[in-house]
Amino acid sequence: MDEPWLLNLGATLGREMPITRSMQLETVSWTDQQLAMKMPLEPNRNHQDSAFAGSLSTLCTVVGWGTLFMLLQQKGLTGNVVIRRGTIRYLLRSSEIVATGLPIDSDELGFFFELLQSKGKSKLDIAVEIADEQGPYVVFKGSYVVHG
């Protein structure tokens, strides 16, 4: 059941946010409400032939946005998702660029949907990590607002 939703997310990003096509962003998986997306190094490289900070930040922003897109689809809801705030830390660089949403607290998620359905508007924080075999090297946290 996740596959068509993931395909829908990928198609939506490519159509509505064309720079993600230039970056060659791709969905990887949606498991236990955790979205993973990846991009190749070449179009996203920097002066050190490692990953460009702007692309890393965009990838994380999109994984947060896509997590809400998937959560809403899963509940059969529609809503307009907008990011309000983001913080990011870059620890080191790597050529493995897969960003994964971190687990969302189930109480927070319940409250998020409760508010969305009662008020038509809600907010959720999504944490995203980019890790390689040595551990996470980019840590992102975004606050997203949803209007139902």
Q: Which residues bind a copy of itself (CB under 8 A)?
A: 12, 16-20, 22-23, 42-48, 52-55, 57-59, 61-62, 65, 80, 82-90
Q: Among 92, 90, 89, 95, which residue's Cα sits nearest to residue 38?
A: 95
| Degrees to nearest 5, angle at CA 56 with 10 and 60 | 55
Given CA atoms 141, 23, 4, 36 in this order, what sign does their dihedral have?
negative
Q: Report the alpha-carbon distance of residue 103 to residue 70 in Å, rounded.
A: 14
CB of 17 to a copy of itself, least distance (A): 5
Nearer to a copy of itself, 37 or 104 (CB): 37
What is the token pair recorded at 10? Answer: 């990928």
User: Residue 18 or 120: which CB sits closer to a copy of itself?
Assistant: 18
The least CB distance from residue 75 to a copy of itself, in Å, is 19
For a copy of itself, which is the closer residue by CB, 84 or 121?
A: 84
Residue closer to a copy of itself (CB basis): 65 or 112: 65
**How far is the C-alpha of 102 from the C-alpha of 20, rounded, in Å?**
21
**How many angstroms separate the CA atoms of 79 and 45, rounded?**
34
**Residues paired with 132 in a beta bridge:** 135
Closer residue to a copy of itself (CB): 91 or 118: 91
Least distance CB 110 / a copy of itself (angstroms): 26
